Amino acid sequence: MNRRKLGSELEVFPVGLGCMGMSHGYGGQEEADAIRTLHRAVELGVDFFDTAEVYGPFTNEVLVGKGLKPLRHKVKIATKFGFNVVDTPDGPEARPGLNSRPEHVRAVAEASLKRLGIETIDLLYQHRVDPAVPIEDTVGAMADLVKEGKVRTIGLSEANAATIRRAHAVHPVAAVQSEYSLWTRDPEAEVLATCRELGIGFVPFSPLGRGFLTGAITSAAQLGPNDFRRKLPRFEEENITKNLAAVEKLKAHAAAKGVTAAQLALAWVLAQGDFIVPIPGSRKIANLEANVAATSIPLTASEIAEIGALVTPDQVSGGRYPEEMARQAGR
């Protein structure tokens, strides 16, 4: 499959690697295992890696920087700022609220560069739009970092179309990152068309529905005590039971095609446009290899439509996030 562009400067493999789960959100894993996965990804051609200051906090950036240090010349590293992360005597903590004040943007970028051990962040995202700070002010601070060579390109995460346009008018936005999959299609309303029009790449996170579209999760009991998904409405036991019916249809369709449900779901996302670069997370090398293989699955227009009808948002029980987190998305 041809490489894909994020804005005018970044060209990457069609699938990136979301690194959050290696140390945050889903229980984490041993550092050595995570680094082996990072190295295997590069061997397979993956060259776009996603992290954030809040993952840990901080520990995921350190892990990604350490793991990719010997391969830095082959990869692009994206990180994000915007949540209220503070240092305490007991270590860094993520606290309620957002912070995208210009002076904070600079401070976080400097800290991320040190943790990653790199001289330039290839793609710096605002993790969530801060309603207390005009997007023009935040992007202006990000643009200054580009001028100084500390950041190569900039992006937004979970921003709506109007905010994307306002940001892009200040400085070119290379990519917009939002959740997008068969069971989460909010970006289809306006964001995908806006990105296509403005030449902005679109980076879906959780393109496999936080693992649910793989068919491997059939009960909340499978989730560890520290698994972030325990807080999400869709992963409540009652909703899991209801949502399994749609996934079973996906599994059956995938089996008939000789692929897995995860691969078919990822191939569907990839087929939505050549400006789309999903970043599924993988802690196991076997899953990573399967995701890369999904880039070679051909789909006709009729197949894309048929797969899109197997799992649709109206069939899904439970919201993406609890109420407070939902309010931060899509501004």
Give the list of residues 6+ apart from residue 255 with CB closer than 8 angstroms, or none. none
Establish whether 55 is a catalytic residue.
yes
In 3D space, the residue among 124, 102, 104, 103 whose CA is nearest the CA of residue 113 turns out to be 124
Choose among 290, 243, 284, 297: nearest CA to 262. Answer: 290
Positive or negative, the CA dihedral 296, 301, 303, 306 is positive
Contacts of 18 (CB under 8 A, 6+ apart): 50, 205, 206, 279, 280, 281, 282
3-state secondary structure of 17: strand
**Closest to 138 measured CA to CA, from 175, 177, 164, 112:** 164
Residue with tokens 């899904």: 316
Task: Please report the DSSP string for 188-242 in residue order.
Answer: GTTHHHHHHHHT-EEEEESTTGGGGGGT----GGGS-TT-GGGGSGGGSHHHHHH
Distance of CA 256 to the CA centre of its chain: 29
| The one catalytic residue among 26, 55, 125, 180 | 55
Q: Return the active site residues.
A: 55
